[in-house]
Copies of this chain bind each other. A is one copy, B any other.
Amino acid sequence: MSLLVVGTVAFDSVATPHGRVERVLGGSATYFSFAASFFTPVRLVSVVGEDFPDEFMAALRQRRVDLAGLARVPGRTFSWCGSYEGTMNEARTLDVQLNVYGDFSPALPEAFRDSRYVFLANGSPDSQMRVLEQVREPRLVVADTMNLWIERTPDGLRKLLERIDALVLNEGEARMLSGEPNLIAAGERILAFGPRAVIVKKGEHGSLLFSRDGGRCALPAFPVARVVDPTGAGDSFAGGMMGFLARNDLNDAAALRRAMVFGTVMSSFVVEDFSLAPFQRIGEAEIWSRYHDFIRFITV
């Protein structure tokens, strides 16, 4: 089934204990699209500037990503600069330049409005809502968010939560949004705000699912002994998860559990190297092999 993502396509500059890269391909919609593309074709809506190189466009196209919704406008592309240290559990943002993304009001091409599976990558709740209004009959809408929106636009976020099926957010954000330091209480509370499901991403500690119809579920992260760059892990998780759901046209809580396994697998690949490099090396065989390893890893 059709899978739509709206988010950033960006230049990333990243420093980690394993090295550094400058102005490589990044952005939430990019990571999501690459991860999901192994399961189903992806429609991407975003904006880049005139400085966005053709080779990056080609890299996205090579993964069958439909770029009809990727506007290229005068100005410079969104860019992010960050670093990771120690346990690498949290990025330190050194610089963000919104550039052309600052004025971006996502407009869906007519051909994208029938999308059935929709991922609203991190963005203002207002702009996420505007995307939602352009999709005719979505079967599953999942949104990401961040501390910025939890603090600045709590009302908009609460309104959005009543309109979406599932929210994905990280551990710290879940505690902040709910006001609950206990993560289980936090997840339950956010569930009460409206969505059918809440997925809490915990980096190296895996993920938690809270759902109205299917109870709760926990998954560890896939054991990666050498994390080179955690950038994009969360969006790749969402990409693997929603790619699996869209491919199999599923949206129930039981399917969400299984989908999270594929999210876990895809995010485990992406952290093994900088930018999208891991996704340019793997194929179905590597994904299934790691899937089976993971099932063994969680079986008691």
- Chain B residues whose C-beta falls within 8 Å of the C-beta of A208 in the assembled complex: 220, 223
Q: Which of A181, A188, A218, A219 has the most CB of B within 10 A?
A: A218
Q: A218-B220, A225-B185 are in contact. Are A300 and B261 (CB under 8 A)?
A: yes
Selected contact of A227 from candidates B182, B220, B260, CB within 8 Å: B182
Q: Which residue of B lies closest to A256 (CB)?
A: B300
Q: A184-B224, A218-B220 are in contact. Are A298 and B300 (CB under 8 A)?
A: yes
Question: CB of A43 within 8 A of chain B?
Answer: no
Question: CB of A175 within 8 A of chain B?
Answer: yes
Question: CB of A159 within 8 A of chain B?
Answer: no
Question: CB of A287 within 8 A of chain B?
Answer: no
Selected contact of A218 from candidates B17, B226, B227, B297, CB within 8 Å: B297
Q: A175-B87, A205-B202 are in contact. Are A184 and B223 (CB under 8 A)?
A: yes
Measuring CB to CB, which residues of chain A are less than 8 angstroms from any residue of chain B? Answer: 17, 86-88, 175, 181-185, 188, 202, 204-206, 208, 215-221, 223-227, 257-258, 260-261, 295-300
Going nearest first, the 5 A-B pairs with the smallest beta carbon separation are: A218-B220, A205-B205, A184-B225, A184-B223, A185-B225
